[in-house]
Amino acid sequence: IQHPQSILYLDGVSVSFDGFKAINNLSLILEPGEMRAIIGPNGAGKTTMMDIITGKTRPDTGEVFFDGEHDLTRLDETDIANLGIGRKFQKPTVFETHTVEDNIALSLKGRRGIFAALFDQRSRSETERIEEILATVRLEQRRNDKAAALSHGQKQWLEIGMLLAQNPKLLLIDEPVAGMTDAETAQTGDLLRQIARSHSVVVVEHDMHFVRELGVKVTCLHEGSVLSEGRFDHVSADPRVVEVYLGR
Ligand code: ADP
């Protein structure tokens, strides 16, 4: 066991694309149950960092450990997902022609295939889990509606519900509130705070008002490394952060 206290441990991580250092000596530690907001201008390395954690991109150097003991640099994407790291990309990818409830069931029974999810009798524990998730993402009233009928914000919540159905320990969420109304954005903040009571969460977000309202520790990336880290008020007032955002 290398780093028993942390759910996620990155140390000295670097990766280059054609000689360009997209990630440059990046270190980041997430404690179990912590929700962390990642900010930074375009090209800062946020997506590449998520790609490294999920095994999509292999770092050239550095350590990446999950849950104290799993060396993620030695595992492929499927193994990493099976360890309990779930990722949600910015654009919602739900099954539009299926109902909200079936979307959750599909994700819950994912490994047993689409026919099992849609036609097999659900066990009591599966039914209870689906109910719990529908309540968490506040889509109980829409359970029988096709996903295509949902608003953009509701599709994002449904996809977060599908992620929860996979029972991850760590959720990586990319720009959840992009394109949402103010009301949907506020509800998403409540949803993420609720999820963070029982999961570790990394959320990449550009909406600074949303990040402030989340009230969690913030890490600002720039040129592939950590530029500033701490409470939102500290990071947002950091002259180096102000400089990179203003482009001076
Ligand atoms: P962010 O998500 O913060 O906007 P990215 O991680 O997407 O930043 O990109 C970081 C830098 O790495 C950018 O300059 C980007 O052009 C570069 N980059 C990312 N992926 C690749 C790739 N596959 N090939 C070449 N360059 C890449």
Ligand 1: centre distance to CA 104 (Å): 32
E-state strands within 185-224: 200-204, 218-222
Task: Give the tens place of pLDDT for each residue, 156-210.
Answer: 999 999 999 999 999 999 999 999 999 999 999 999 999 999 999 999 999 999 9
- pLDDT at residue 119, as a whole number: 66
How far, in Å, from the CA of 194 to the mean position of ligand 1? 31
Residue 121: pLDDT band by 50, 70, 90 thresholds?
confident
Interface predicted TM-score of the whole assembly (ipTM), two decimals: 0.96
Bridge partners, 87 (sequence order):
172
Supply the mean pLDDT for the chain. 93
In ligand 1, which atom is closest to the CA atom of 50?
6
Q: Which residue has the tokens 């060396």?
A: 71
Q: Of the residues 48, 56, 60, 245, which should be mutated to test ligand 1's pocket, given the most ligand atoms within 8 Å of the CB? A: 48
Give per-residue pLDDT as tens, 55-84: 999 999 999 999 988 999 999 999 999 999
C-alpha 105 to ligand 1 mean position (Å): 34
Which residues of the chain form beta strands (DSSP E)? 8-17, 20-30, 35-39, 61-66, 70-71, 85-88, 170-174, 200-204, 218-222, 225-230
Pick 124 or 29 by higher pLDDT. 29
DSSP 222: E
Name the pLDDT band for 6 (thresholds 50, 70, 90): very high
**Residue with CA nearest ligand 1 atom 14:** 43
Find the angle CA(207)-CA(213)-CA(215) to the nearest 5 degrees.
115
Atom of ligand 1 nearest to the CA of 18: 25
Q: Pick the atom of ligand 1 nearest to 44's CA.
A: 3
Of all atoms in ligand 1, which is nearest to the CA of residue 45? 6
Alpha-carbon distance 7 to 207, whole Å? Answer: 26
43 within ligand 1 shell (Cβ under 6 A): yes
Pocket of ligand 1 contains residue 89 by CB under 6 Å: no
Minimum-distance ligand 1 atom for the alpha carbon of 221: 3
